[in-house]
A and B are shown apart, each in its own frame.
Chain A
Amino acid sequence: MYLNQFLLLAAFLFSVGVYGVLARKNGVLVLMSIELILNAVNINLVAFGAFHDTVAGQVFALFVIAVAAAEVGVGLAIVLLIYRNRHSIDLSEVDLMKG
């Protein structure tokens, strides 16, 4: 099996996700970028699980999917809260505290 192809895809997704988190200003797009990183992790886990012929990789990936759902649920609630109080989800405007 060609493990490298999966790893390269995952590394690419991870980089795109990190770039998105750092560069995007829209709250929802940042959440999507975080999902990209988590999916890069899932690809890695499943590919390595198949490579080592163990089920642990898939189990780990299932845990990641379930927990990511909870995480994004909380994240969307927070973005909604910000929108209600400020009428904008531009994260670069959220900077009352500095220093």
Chain B
Amino acid sequence: MHAVLAAAQTLKAPDLDYFALAPEIVLTAVLVGILLLDVFVDETRKYLVTQVAGLGLLVSLVPVVALAANGADRSMLGGAYVVDNFALLVKALFLATGYVVLLMSSDYIGEGDYYEGEYSFLLLSSLLGMMVMGSSRDLITIFVALELLSIPAYLLAGWRKRDLRSNEACLKYYLLGVLASAVMLYGMSLIFGATGSTVLRTIGREVGGSVGEEPIVTLGIFFIVVGFAFKVSAVPFHFWAPDTYEGAPTPVTAFLSVASKAAGFVALLQLVYIGFFGREEVWGPLFWVLAALTMTVGNLVALRQTNVVRMLAYSSVAQAGYILVPFAVAGSNPAANATAQTAALVYLLIYAAMNLGAFAIVMAVARKTRSAEISSYGGLFTYAPGLTLLMSVFLFSLAGIPPLAGWFAKLYIFESALDAGTAAAVTLAVVAGLNAVIALFYYSAVAKEMWMRPVPDGDTTPIPVPPALAAALAFTAIVVVAVGVYPQAFARLGDLAQLTLR
């Protein structure tokens, strides 16, 4: 005991760069603030909590912008926590996504009497985990960030407590999420065993050297990639996604399909480009198979869906397949490596805007029809022309039709595959091209229903769109159209945020 106390005298607090941590600190303060606020405001004024939460998200964006203007890369805790352009870009993405989801959910949660204060609290906790994920360059940090973002998300999926479908969504998401993180942890323990370090940069150097030849490294990489394949719902680890997306409350579905998936890809980018870069012959083929299967299965199953949310769920599985393409081709040469990173990042940013927009429309329409069946979209144009037009914009952007943002995202994916230039990469580009054609069928089926078919029950009263939902729609629509018209600005962002093993 005395020895421990004596040793404690010599312990030094780690050097923390509080400016670099400012976005997370602000977000944590907001979290605690809204938890207290929720206790003290009475039942009729709970909307205040959501408003403070939204304001808090915008305030945490301020230090992110300040850090970006400052420009210096900041590293602390022995390289375990790094704030560079990549981290700032994904943090801004997560904060913007969180804000849009909050806008979408404020009316839904308020009207449904769904524990408003706790909802905002859990949403912001999950976002905090994602912010940490953007900066984590260490196995322990990645693991803690992953759990911090997942555990609140499990609870959010089951937010409608009395609804059996919501229960089922929550249970399936929880069980497969926990199994995935356990498998990923087993892989991390093997990588730690082979390299003797948890810091990604050290792991990257060891894996690139002679240690990388050991079979234990191959096994570790395999387990980690499989764990994250669950997280990003890649086929054959996707089967939780459609059920969870259908059963969960719609704003939560939007959050899971965009933010949670993006966080999985952010972790994969860091692991693959820093930690495992020396062993592309292991993860290259693995991602190739995942990408090809995910695109094809996602699109083929989406073809025969009759429920819009389920269709969007399979569409988001397919979209994850496109984002996996740059991973599959990244290892072949340095030029391909750079384009592949930009392609994956740019796709994540654009996918967030168009998918959130599509879910916002689904919520707006469900306010009137109380249904998510595709047939209930019949004749939408006759009584909600604005929503019809916006939905068409989002759907055709998801399909990749120029001049909308989704087209540019797909173009970048193809460019990364062609830059790699190997036979395998070109084959994958062809598979992706065929899939883009298949996807057009089911996206345009919804468009046809909206523009051409008669109204199923003849009820043509207009749909009232609450201001918060309208703001979410406007924001996502502007991003989708603006990026489609001026794509260079976005590509520049992606180029600035490159990860390299130095």
Is A54 part of the binding interface, using a Cβ–Cβ cutoff of 8 Å? yes
Is A60 part of the binding interface, using a Cβ–Cβ cutoff of 8 Å? yes
Provide the bound-state CA to CA distance between A82 and B310, in Å. 23
Pair A85/B197 contact, Cβ less than 8 Å: no
Pair A45/B183 contact, Cβ less than 8 Å: no
Q: Tell me whether chain B's interface is mostly helix, strand or loop, or mixed.
A: helix
Asked if A81 meets B161 with Cβ closer than 8 Å, knowing A34-B178, A67-B143, the reply is yes
Which of A41, A56, A86, A98 neighbours the largest number of chain B CB atoms within 10 Å of its CB?
A41
CB neighbours (8 Å) of B23 from chain A are none
CB neighbours (8 Å) of B197 from chain A are 54, 56
Q: Tell me whether chain A's interface is mostly helix, strand or loop, or mixed.
A: helix
Asked if A48 meets B189 with Cβ closer than 8 Å, knowing A81-B161, A86-B164, A97-B243, the reply is yes
Pair B190/A44 contact, Cβ less than 8 Å: yes
B229-253 interface with A by 8 A CB criterion: 242-243, 246-247
Is B155 part of the binding interface, using a Cβ–Cβ cutoff of 8 Å? yes
Asked if A67 meets B147 with Cβ closer than 8 Å, knowing A81-B170, A94-B167, A94-B168, the reply is yes
For the complex formed, measure the closest distance between the CB of A93 and the CB atoms of chain B, giving whole angstroms. Answer: 10
Pair A96/B164 contact, Cβ less than 8 Å: yes
Pair B154/A78 contact, Cβ less than 8 Å: yes
Q: Number of A residues whose C-beta is below 8 Å from B?
A: 44
Provide the bound-state CA to CA distance between A40 and B171, in Å. 24
Provide the bound-state CA to CA distance between A37 and B168, in Å. 23
Pair A97/B171 contact, Cβ less than 8 Å: no
Is A1 part of the binding interface, using a Cβ–Cβ cutoff of 8 Å? no
Binary A-proximity of B181-201 (CB < 8 A = 1, otherwise 0): 111011011101100111000
B135-177 interface with A by 8 A CB criterion: 139-140, 143-144, 147, 151, 154-155, 158, 161-162, 164-165, 167-172, 174-175
Closest Cβ neighbor of B216 among chain A residues: A7
Asked if A78 meets B170 with Cβ closer than 8 Å, knowing A59-B140, A85-B162, A86-B164, the reply is yes
- Point out residues on A near B: beta carbons under 8 Å: 7, 10, 14, 17-18, 21, 27, 30, 34, 37-38, 40-41, 44-45, 47-48, 51-52, 54, 56-57, 59-60, 63-64, 67, 70-71, 74-75, 77-78, 81-82, 85-86, 91, 94-99
